[in-house]
A and B are shown apart, each in its own frame.
Chain A
């Protein structure tokens, strides 16, 4: 209870740090919007086959799914090594604050940042790129559970991955390639069904492919299901993959998370 109260109290300062740090704000928050505008402007009008769906609509759904990865995985995997290096974690360790409060604060920040980001992405999509808000309660329900489950899985994975960069400086260089490769192979920048088979198989191992597919089920008309490799949006499979990655993330984060830099005595 105490941990929950302190953790909720940390959400505000976590958000302040997230938005005030210029690199973090641009890289984790604004970048998806910038990419949306660029790709949407260049390729947006192209119709995908004779589906009646434009690339812009397809891309917005992919960027919303990417937003989950940006605000949770990328954000934490870059910021935690910095906090480990600059002494934030060590300082917190020396206070009576329960360690769980730290993670509650991070999770809260991730959720708020995602909601803000996705709101803007949807608004831009509606205004400029012909995106339509989901109308059925089933689609809205899908949007909510996919977002929540995706955020939980990617938050845990971000916390776990935060042990990979040895130093705060340069953490971005070890994190953003992961995000970029997943985006290229998971149906964000390219239409997934156009990708080579091996690339599709590779992407299917990771959460983003399933997140993009689920977001297409939310934001594209039902007829778009025919464009998917499986001929459907495979929501059950999405849930299963996200649950598996949640468990993997939780185990990795529990086993490998460090409060002190590697090599610290």
Chain B
């Protein structure tokens, strides 16, 4: 395996097709130990396929993959004991209580975390006797994380963990993940929330149509040298991306008598860069539209 010393997750040129649909067209990523990599991309881009190949759920057609030095295409239970998985939108085991579920899952791992501590860490202490089916969306997701970390994993996979959260629940969730990161857990996060990637990830990989179109620290993604200038005129909103915002605003000021209405000048955000990347990719492949069903 071409595993560099500190690498927890490596994928090299991984390809996966479902019939005519190419979900992954040769994807390479690596995640260092203790690092958090966010995989960003629109629905159908291949995020879940990539994650589930690395989790050991799906087989790849070709390419190499290694998680903690083991080929995830040949998962064994010793390896599973070292990884934690938080799948997309779960609703299983509705009739068990939070406490019953977590303490039962602790028994599957050779070196589990303390059940009460995990319940506390995910903020479900007051819900320990509640049925899983009665939890709110955010609480249910925190239960999923508890089940993902109960085995003291070295690598944690989080697949769209905060979809459907209200902003406050999202913030609380981020704090929880930050704590895991600070304890040294390697995290592979998929999300389509840019702010989430910005907040949690050390590095970001943008995936579109099964290919990585950009990768790096969040601030390096896309063309971020430009500034975004926006203003209104006659009730219409205008924006301009420019490398020389000062000159542009000066020139703009000459067109207006006095103040430029609703003027703002800001650095291109990760979101701007991301949207630009996705738009470029779409322009490059106009006849190959993604319908979003191949999550």
Using a CB–CB cutoff of 8 Å, the interface residues on chain A facing chain B are: 6, 9-10, 12-13, 16-17, 20-21, 83, 86-88, 90-91, 93-98, 265
Contacts and interface: CB of A to CB of B under 8 A. Distances in A.
B104 A95 contact: no
Interface of B: 18, 23, 49, 55-58, 77-78, 80-81, 83, 85, 87, 90-96, 100-101, 104-105, 107-110, 131, 147, 151
Contacts of A21: 95
B215 to A, nearest CB: 25
Nearest to B95: A20
A96 B81 contact: yes
A16 B57 contact: no
B57 A90 contact: yes
B55 A94 contact: yes
Contacts of B109: 95-96
22 contacts: A6-B108, A9-B107, A13-B100, A13-B104, A17-B95, A21-B95, A86-B91, A86-B93, A86-B94, A88-B92, A88-B93, A90-B57, A93-B57, A94-B55, A94-B80, A94-B85, A94-B87, A96-B77, A96-B80, A96-B108, A96-B109, A96-B110
Contact of A17 (B49, B55, B93, B147): B93
Given A86-B91, A87-B87, A98-B77, A17 B108 contact: no
B96 A13 contact: yes
A97 B112 CA distance: 13
Contacts of B55: 94
A91 B147 contact: yes
B142 to A, nearest CB: 15
Contacts of A94: 55-57, 80, 83, 85, 87
Nearest to A21: B95
B47 to A, nearest CB: 14
A16 B92 contact: no
Nearest to A90: B87
A137 to B, nearest CB: 39
Contacts of A88: 92-93
A88 B94 CA distance: 10
Contacts of B108: 6, 95-97
Contacts of B147: 91
Nearest to B150: A95
A33 B229 CA distance: 75
Given A93-B57, A96-B80, A6 B87 contact: no
A95 B91 contact: no
B189 to A, nearest CB: 17
Contacts of A90: 57, 87
A16 B96 contact: yes
Closest CB pairs A-B (n = 8) = A96-B77, A20-B95, A88-B92, A97-B108, A96-B81, A94-B85, A96-B80, A86-B92
A35 B69 CA distance: 58
A2 to B, nearest CB: 9
A9 B81 CA distance: 18
